[in-house]
């Protein structure tokens, strides 16, 4: 079976809830009683396997049913959750061979009476999904309010852990990288569960700091395990403080991941002040900047050699960003310094950028490490790297500094003067379009993606550049000259 796609934006519906709708008159006549429904699909094909996503309640009247065992085996292989068989007009009763096949392969078989239409079943499933989604949203909203209230208490970290344990009906603990318990709330756990949680803590936050290298993969931000029916989870807190949120819950309900994500962000922010002198120095530097000190004066307080890395990010699915998922992204990258500007999240990281890893669901652009006096240039680098990542459909692109070659032989002031004279006819939007177009080897489509405009707009702008400059942009010498000028201007 191919990889299952992401499920619909609603919790799965237990088959028992659908069977409980008396107006439908459905009856399970074979297979297990438990099944979770993600979709409803109707098909009279002899083999609907290629058109199934997994998790369906497949509805059929058996128009082309010939080999029941092969038919059911293919449904199970495709990941179907249950089979609904409509009695009449093709079959007066559910074929005995189909009942036997469903029992043999463990696929729930539901008898659909003649008076029940398949569209009524689909409508009932969507209604149940909407109700479940509404319950989940209400639960997440209540949990978010409860966690935020706990975070405002005088003892915020233990209060958040207690509230999280209540919301998940399990145990929540804050661990060090080696598995030692700092705070805990909820019921007690068995020794083997505690051992497993300590192991997960070491997985997501190694005790020994790793030296960044191209060949070394970063540690995962979360890990899971099970012990005798207990679900175990570990989440590394952001900020590089070496702390882990560990959970042990009797079940995994819809909305638990969202509730836990909120707690991870809160705990990352609440524990960040305990990182020591480096964090205190950065806070002092920020206060002095706000009070009017120059960047040069506060640079010595920032630590890490005074270098910072800027990350620009957008949701890979095109969904808008908000402060909550921006904070979660910042926590995953190891910083509480994040903001949302329209659809773009910007995160400021202390230190070099080699440790920045791709984040699921995000497209990232990463700047060079820069001193605090050059953060504006780093912000531009990150923005361009993000545009390049989106244009090339890669999860993460790092800004690559120019190669020192012939360009280094020309004094910067003379190069800048030449660029100003050559590019004087162009407005800033035209110059940026030309720079992006040249950097992407003249690709109209990729430039349109990077600039978020229509490809015809790119064509019009580039044609306008050629007219204003009175140059043939198909000439390689011309392109090289312009690229040098644009790089010097940047």
Taking residues 242-252, report their average pLDDT.
Answer: 87
* Proportion of the chain in helix, strand, coil states, percent, rounded to 5: 50, 20, 35
Cβ–Cβ < 8 Å for 352, 369: yes
**Model confidence at 273: pLDDT above 60:** no
Identify which has the larger pLDDT, 241 or 198.
198
Q: Measured between alpha carbons, how far is 360 from 152 in angstroms, rounded to an integer?
A: 30
What integer is the mean pLDDT of 156-176?
A: 89
**What CATH number belongs to 153-274?**
3.30.450.30
Report CA 97 to chain centroid distance, whole Å.
45
Listed range (27-41, 158-172, 362-376) with the worst mean pLDDT: 362-376
Dist CA 133 CA 137 (whole Å): 6
Over the range 362-395, which residues count as b (16 or more CB within 10 Å of their CB) and which as e?
bbbbbbbbbbbebbebbbebbbbbbbbbbbeeee
Whole-angstrom Cα distance, residue 458 to residue 391? 13
Contacts of 153 (CB under 8 A, 6+ apart): 159
pLDDT in tens, 52-88: 989 999 999 999 999 999 999 999 999 999 999 999 8
Written as one string, the DSSP assignment of 386-400 is HHHHHHHT-SEEE--
Q: What pairing do the DSSP bridges indicate for beta strands 27-30 and 109-112? A: antiparallel
Measured CA to CA, the distance from residue 433 to residue 449 in angstroms comes to 12
The answer to whether the CB of 160 falls within 8 A of the CB of 264 is: no
- Domain pair 153-274 / 406-489, same fold: no
pLDDT, greater one: 225 or 283: 225
Domain boundaries, the chain: 13-127, 153-274, 302-398, 406-489
Range with the lowest mean pLDDT among 191-200, 331-340, 417-426, 475-484?
A: 331-340
Helices (H), 291-374: 295-298, 323-333
Q: Which pLDDT score is estimated for 41?
A: 94
Q: Tell how far CA 285 is from the center of its chain.
A: 32
> Which residues pair with residue 223 across a beta bridge?
234
What mean pLDDT value characterizes the chain? 82
Q: What does the pLDDT average to over 217-222?
A: 66
Give the C-alpha separation, 338 to 356, whole Å: 15
Which distant-in-sequence residues (6+ apart) come within 8 Å of 2 by Cβ? none
Q: CB of 58 within 8 A of CB of 83?
A: yes
Retrieve residue 269's tokens.
């922010």
**CA gap 311, 366 in Å, rounded:** 5
Q: What is the DSSP letter of 301?
A: G
- Superfamily (CATH) of domain 13-127: HprK N-terminal domain-like (3.40.1390.20)
Per-residue pLDDT, 407: 56
- pLDDT given at position 436: 86
Instruction: Give the model's confidence band at 6: pLDDT under 50 very low, under 70 low, under 90 confident, else very high.
Output: very low
Residue 230's H or E segment, with its range, is strand 230-236
- Indicate the helix (H) or strand (E) that contains 455: helix 455-469
What Cα–Cα distance (Å) separates residue 200 from each residue in 209, 245, 355? 16, 10, 21
pTM of the model: 0.47
Q: Is the pLDDT of residue 8 over 70?
A: no
Q: Does domain 406-489 have CATH number 3.40.50.300?
A: no
φ, ψ of residue 365 in degrees (nearest 5) = -125, 130
CA distances from 260 to 44, 118, 204 (A): 43, 38, 16
Q: Which residues of 244-270 are buried (b: 16+ CB within 10 A; e: fewer)?
A: bbbbbbeeeeebbebbbbbbbbbbbbb
CA 251 to CA 246: how far, in whole Å?
15
């Amino acid at each position: 079976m191919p990889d299952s796609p992401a499920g619909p934006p609603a919790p799965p519906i237990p088959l028992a809830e659908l069977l409980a709708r008396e107006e439908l008159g459905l009856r399970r006549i074979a297979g297990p009683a438990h099944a979770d429904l993600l979709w409803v699909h109707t098909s009279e094909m002899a083999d609907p396997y290629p058109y199934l996503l997994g998790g369906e309640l497949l509805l059929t009247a058996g128009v082309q049913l010939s080999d029941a065992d092969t038919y059911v085996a293919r449904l199970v292989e495709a990941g179907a959750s249950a089979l609904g068989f409509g009695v009449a007009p093709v079959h007066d009763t559910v074929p005995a061979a189909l009942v036997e096949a469903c029992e043999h392969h463990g696929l729930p078989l539901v008898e659909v009476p003649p008076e029940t239409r398949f569209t009524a079943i689909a409508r009932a499933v969507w209604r149940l999904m909407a109700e479940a989604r509404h319950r989940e949203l209400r639960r997440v909203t209540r949990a978010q309010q409860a966690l935020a209230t706990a975070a405002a208490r005088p003892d915020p970290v233990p209060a958040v852990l207690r509230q999280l344990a209540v919301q998940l009906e399990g145990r929540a603990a804050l661990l060090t990288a080696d598995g030692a318990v700092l705070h805990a709330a909820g019921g007690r756990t068995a020794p083997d569960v505690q051992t497993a949680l300590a192991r997960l803590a070491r997985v997501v936050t190694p005790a020994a700091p790793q030296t960044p290298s191209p060949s070394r993969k970063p540690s995962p931000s979360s890990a899971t395990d099970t012990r005798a029916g207990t679900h175990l989870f570990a989440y590394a807190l952001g900020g590089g403080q070496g702390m882990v949120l560990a959970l042990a819950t009797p079940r995994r309900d819809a909305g638990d991941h969202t509730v836990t994500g909120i707690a991870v962000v809160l705990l990352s922010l609440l524990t960040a002040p305990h990182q020591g002198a480096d964090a205190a120095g950065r806070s002092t530097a920020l206060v002095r900047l706000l009070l009017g000190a120059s960047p040069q004066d506060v640079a010595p307080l920032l630590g890490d050699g005074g270098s910072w890395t800027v990350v620009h990010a957008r949701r890979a699915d095109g969904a808008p960003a908000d402060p909550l998922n921006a904070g979660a992204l910042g926590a995953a990258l190891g910083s509480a310094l994040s903001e949302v500007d329209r659809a773009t999240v910007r995160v400021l990281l202390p230190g070099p950028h080699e440790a920045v890893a791709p984040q699921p669901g995000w497209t990232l652009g990463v700047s060079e490490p820069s001193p605090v006096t050059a953060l504006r240039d780093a912000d531009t680098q990150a923005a361009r790297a993000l545009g390049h990542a989106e244009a090339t459909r890669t999860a993460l692109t790092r800004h690559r500094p120019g190669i020192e070659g012939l360009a280094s032989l020309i004094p910067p002031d003379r190069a800048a003067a030449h660029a100003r004279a050559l590019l004087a006819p162009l407005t800033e939007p035209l110059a940026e379009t030309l720079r992006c177009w040249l950097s992407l080897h003249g690709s109209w489509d990729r430039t349109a993606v990077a600039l978020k405009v229509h490809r015809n707009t790119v064509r019009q702008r580039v044609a306008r550049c050629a007219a204003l400059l009175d140059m043939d942009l198909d000439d390689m010498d011309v392109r090289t000259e312009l690229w040098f000028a644009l790089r010097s201007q940047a």
